[in-house]
Amino acid sequence: MTDAKMMSQMTGGEGFIAALDQSGGSTPGALRLYGIVDSDYSGDEEMFRLMHEMRVRIMTASAFTGDKVIGAILFEKTMDGEAKGKPVPNYLWEDRGVVPFLKIDKGLAAEENGVQVMKPMPDLDVLLARAAKKGIFGTKMRSVIGHADKTGIAAVVKQQFEVGRQILGHGLIPIIEPEVSIKSPTKAEAEAILRDEIARELDALPAGQKVMLKLTIPTVADFYKPLIAHKAVIRVVALSGGYSRADACEKLSHNHGMIASFSRALTEDLRVTMNDEDFDASLANTIDQIYTASVVKA
């Protein structure tokens, strides 16, 4: 059953969602940006330990609270880890007032019809049941759209909503994430197709079922307002998609009702060599920037 207090925060809370969900494929790059090079560790176990330490450092920083960070998306290993001696989901909600989400996809299939759908998730029901027991509120899953191909985009959206219905069946809220690549030569055209396909799936949801959407900041400001206003949508959040934080925040500020769910743009100034005071100050400044772009619109 969905937690009413968490739902209230996700529906009406002011702030943004921190994306702390780098997985095995993206972890080395995230660590490099943090100042930990590949030769500093050996093997996946040590790599994930260092990544967990970075995430815990972020989650336990003084500015990382529900006052501005209303939710956080976690990698599975982070969900299973601890912060300050407590399971991470419990720590986030009970100690920080931050709603926990879980990244559930297993990566992307090879490109076909200009898109990459998600790889199969045969053990998804087991993972969802485990996440619900751990106090996770919702999930996130990512597909990628590279070109304005109607067949490809329709396949992406269909798969996202099929899995979304499976997630809803476990009492969790899905974040539907069909990312349009910021490098797409047909980005605006792809967004037009995507908006129509998402609207069609939203209209088909049974009464009372609600989802969240995580979308690339659109080429045309406020392009996703019809989706934001849809009765089946709790919130529309924006991914930074490779934009710098400055660019992502500037673009987001022109999209009313859309809040941030940034990953690389959240951590781009953080370094492992910082002392705690400098680390916390840098993160607080970043949180203020992203919060402002999410709440104060141009």
- For residues 233 and 212, what is the distance between their CA atoms, to the nearest angstrom? 6
Helix (H) or strand (E) run with residue 20 in it: strand 16-20
- For residues 203 and 224, what is the distance between their CA atoms, to the nearest angstrom? 15
Backbone angles phi, psi at 247, to 5 degrees: -65, -45
Active-site annotation holder among 103, 177, 179, 197: 177
- For residues 75 and 48, what is the distance between their CA atoms, to the nearest angstrom? 10
162 noted as active-site residue? no
User: Would you say 272 and 36 are in contact if contact means Cβ atoms under 8 Å apart?
Assistant: yes
- For residues 193 and 23, what is the distance between their CA atoms, to the nearest angstrom? 29
Helix, strand, coil percentages (3-state) for the chain, rounded to 5, are 45, 20, 35
Show the tokens assigned to 227.
Answer: 């989706």
HSE-up (13 A, CA, CB side) for residue 211: 29
- For residues 76 and 55, what is the distance between their CA atoms, to the nearest angstrom? 13
177 noted as active-site residue? yes
Cα-based distances in Å from 268 to 30, 85, 102, 234, 245 = 9, 27, 22, 28, 8
- For residues 145 and 293, what is the distance between their CA atoms, to the nearest angstrom? 25
- For residues 90 and 79, what is the distance between their CA atoms, to the nearest angstrom? 9
Active-site annotation holder among 68, 210, 214, 251: 214
Enzyme catalytic residues: 177, 214
